[in-house]
Amino acid sequence: MKKALVFLLAALALMLGGCGMDMQEVTVWRAVADFALGSGPAVTAEVVRVDGALGAIDAAAEALNTDPGDAELSNPLPEDAAVLGWELAGSELRCSVASGYAALTGRERTTADCCITLTFCAVEGVESVSIYSGGVMLSAAMEPEDFILADSSGITE
């Protein structure tokens, strides 16, 4: 009986260890949970492990929809604003999001736009991102350069 139990435990360990072999790492951009103006970046990158069988764009979409692994980060996409799908038109990725995305305003909307754009534009062949919900364009052809990622509070004119 002991031998059978040891064998089952060893087999289980091998199976669980094998699960991680089919994973890939994706860099996804997240909101900094306790961001306050002037206290550091509003967004930062996090590496997320997703299904290794996914293509690069699907992997990025899945990573965007996951919860952060770091307690200091938050997903800028509420559950009702998740990425639902995408279409690549040349180098423009047309991202389809859930209807709740349209309700995002101000800093929350800018942060979400930024995180989606930075995440997808890191994929080879994607140069800009447009965001759609229910066939309606919410944000048009954004590129990483459209977002200021450094503290510019000390810059004077």
Amino acid 7: pLDDT: 39
The strand order across the sheet containing 43-51 reads 43-51, 23-32, 73-74
Q: Please list the ranges in the chain whose pLDDT falls under 50.
A: 1-20, 155
Amino acid 36: pLDDT: 53
User: Which amino acid, residue 62?
Assistant: E
What pLDDT, in 10s, does the model give residues 92-108?
Answer: 999 999 999 999 999 89
- Bridge partners (DSSP) of residue 29 are 45
Amino acid 18: pLDDT: 46
The domain segmentation of the chain, as residue ranges, is: 22-146
Amino acid 114: pLDDT: 95
- The set of residues, in sequence order, having a beta carbon less than 8 Å from that of 8 and lying 6+ positions away, is none
What is the phi-psi region of residue 38: left when phi exceeds 0, alpha when psi lies from -120 to 50, beta otherwise? Answer: left
Please tell me whether the overall predicted TM-score, pTM, comes out greater than 0.85 for this model. Answer: no
Amino acid 5: pLDDT: 37
